[in-house]
Amino acid sequence: MKAHFLIRHDQAPKAFEIREVEKPIFQTDEVQIKVEGFGLNFADVMAMKGLYRDCPPLPTIIGYDVVGRIEAKGINVTNVAVGDRVTALTRFGGYAEYAVTKSAAVAKISEDLELGKALALSTQYCTAYYCTEEMTRLHEGDKVLVHAAAGGVGTALVQLAKWRKCEIYGTASSHKLDYLQTQGVHHPIDYRNEDFFEVIQRNIGDAGLDVIFDPIGGPYLKKGMKLLGSGGRMISFGASELTNANNLFSKMKFLWSFGIYHPVFFISHSKSLIGVNMLRIADNRPKVFQRVLEKVVELAEQGILNPTVGKVFEFEELPQAIEYLASRQSIGKVIVKVE
């Protein structure tokens, strides 16, 4: 089979190489999938830049989500059958013609679910659903802030918050503000040109926000903690801003800029800081991941969740696809077709 290997930490055209290798072998609780297309995630950009701790040693095949057909399965797999069309979270290995993953990370999908929409479900929508439905509870009228709200996870968070009838503040680069409005964000904020802290504080005064979803980290998280009201929850699930740090000193400075919090602070202010890493959930709580994936697929099949497919690339165009995601231009899901 053909696969894109990450061979060095560099700009995308030099970082990846297409190689011919054997199809991956599967264990008794795993499935082998013939890949129709794979999705890109911001973690792939971090891996390319050498900023992603979970990335296996190079050369390696990265990639978290695939859609395709079950080609073969282990004897203990009961939730899907050979020939089923599925969406799946792969533990790397997604940028290829065939991929292998645990059966708990796979869900059957309908034949007519659009490839890009199906690809958005396994990582980005599962992350968002886990954050909104399992790590916090959104209620009607809750004031929530979604950072990077036009991206893959961001779009999913906005749709889930809208489903729960929340009042949504959403940040994005300026050219995405119209998109945020069409998605139902009540207060789109161009956070690269205005201070989201001041804009929101002007709007809500001392009342504070109920929930913040923060994939950026550093000073964004620190300011966010100040915007939370009593009972407020900060869901911290990324550190996109780390991609701007290009030496050890700037990385340390970034880590420092999150702030330091003592448990007494959380008790006395009645605020929470919740960390989320879906890889840990998929690895260590496979039943939880499976429950979330099945729920997300059900909501998408019902049309309650409707992923946005930002751009579709051909197999050979992987470097362009990843550069596009890294450039902050993309909206929704970026995918690569294989078949």
Ligand X SMILES: NC(=O)c1ccc[n+]([C@@H]2O[C@H](COP(=O)([O-])OP(=O)(O)OC[C@H]3O[C@@H](n4cnc5c(N)ncnc54)[C@H](OP(=O)(O)O)[C@@H]3O)[C@@H](O)[C@H]2O)c1
Q: Summarize as ranges the residues that interact with ligand X (CB under 6 A).
A: 41-43, 123-124, 127, 148, 150-154, 172-173, 176, 215-216, 237-238, 240-241, 243-244, 276-278, 325, 328, 330
What's the DSSP call for residue 192? T
Overall size of the chain counted in residues: 339
- In whole angstroms, the minimum distance from the beta carbon of 239 to ligand X comes to 6
DSSP E strands, the chain: 2-6, 16-20, 30-39, 65-73, 85-89, 98-102, 106-108, 143-146, 167-172, 187-190, 209-214, 228-236, 272-275, 309-313, 333-337
Q: Which two tokens stand for residue 56?
A: 């296996």
- In whole angstroms, the minimum distance from the beta carbon of 141 to ligand X comes to 26
What's the DSSP call for residue 60? B
**For ligand X, which is the closer residue by CB, 6 or 216?**
216
Angle between helices 196-204 and 219-227 (to 10 degrees): 10
**For ligand X, which is the closer residue by CB, 113 or 326?**
326
**For ligand X, which is the closer residue by CB, 243 or 257?**
243
Residue 306, Cβ neighbours under 10 Å: how many? 15
- In whole angstroms, the minimum distance from the beta carbon of 107 to ligand X comes to 17
- In whole angstroms, the minimum distance from the beta carbon of 199 to ligand X comes to 15
Q: Classify strands 209-214 and 187-190 as parallel, antiparallel or unpaired.
A: unpaired
Instruction: Name the residue with the smallest CB distance to ligand X.
Output: 151
Q: Which segments of 130-275 does DSSP mark as H helices, in order? A: 152-163, 177-183, 196-204, 219-227, 248-256, 263-269
**For ligand X, which is the closer residue by CB, 108 or 328?**
328
Amino acid identity of residue 238, one-letter, is: G
Separation of alpha carbons 115 and 333, rounded Å: 11
Separation of alpha carbons 259 and 74, rounded Å: 47
Q: Classify strands 272-275 and 228-236 as parallel, antiparallel or unpaired.
A: parallel
As beta bridge partners, residue 84 has: none
**For ligand X, which is the closer residue by CB, 98 or 220?**
220
Torsion of CA 169, 172, 178, 179, to 10 degrees: -90
- In whole angstroms, the minimum distance from the beta carbon of 119 to ligand X comes to 11
**For ligand X, which is the closer residue by CB, 129 or 315?**
129
**For ligand X, which is the closer residue by CB, 80 or 282?**
282
Residue 218, Cβ neighbours under 10 Å: how many? 21
**For ligand X, which is the closer residue by CB, 26 or 191?**
191
- In whole angstroms, the minimum distance from the beta carbon of 329 to ligand X comes to 7
**For ligand X, which is the closer residue by CB, 77 or 148?**
148
As beta bridge partners, residue 60 has: 6
- In whole angstroms, the minimum distance from the beta carbon of 159 to ligand X comes to 13
- In whole angstroms, the minimum distance from the beta carbon of 158 to ligand X comes to 11
Residue 253, Cβ neighbours under 10 Å: how many? 12
- In whole angstroms, the minimum distance from the beta carbon of 165 to ligand X comes to 23
